Amino acid sequence: MREPDCELCRADRFTHWYHEDDICWVADCEACATPMVVWKDHGAVAPEEAVEHMLGVLSATADIRFGPGGYRIDRHMRQVPGHFHAHARDPDWQRRSWSEPLSVYRGVGGVRETRSR
Ligand SMILES: [Zn+2]
Ligand SMILES: [Zn+2]
């Protein structure tokens, strides 16, 4: 199910996408530049197996990006409370979101590249 007015349902491919499967996708959040897993269905509450799958995929992504233990999973849904998503935040994410250019979409997976300023 999709919701036309929901930005997570629209799933714009703008920043780097780390992963995509039938249940979810993982990309850099446009607002805070940290890896974020997004459920492909619209709804705040996903089935438990889907949540486990999504948090597993997000952790695997963040293990590569930040190293195991170099981040925490943040399940608080501030900007889009009606659509399940979770962030993997490294301790430095706030400074990075202000100072680093956003990553760029070049297809799913592959090397993460940032925009030139
Ligand atoms: Zn974010
Ligand atoms: Zn949605």
Domains and CATH numbers, the chain: 7-99 (3.30.428.10)
Give the distance (Å) from ligand 1 centre to CA of residue 69.
19
- The pLDDT of 7-32, averaged and rounded, is 97
Q: How far is the CA of 35 from the centre of ligand 1 (A)?
A: 8
Quick one: what percent of the chain has pLDDT higher than 90? Answer: 95
Exposed e or buried b per residue across 37-65, where buried means at least 16 C-beta atoms within 10 angstroms of its C-beta: bbbbbbeeebeeebbebbbebbbebbeeb
CA distance 40 to 8: 8
pLDDT above 70: residue 18: yes
Ligand located closest to 4 CA: 2
Q: 8 alpha carbon to ligand 2 midpoint, in Å?
A: 5
Question: What are residue 38's DSSP bridge partners?
Answer: 25, 85
CA distance 90 to 50: 24
Instruction: Record the tokens describing residue 27, joined without a space.
Output: 């990309």
| Centroid of ligand 2 to alpha carbon of 1 (angstroms) | 8
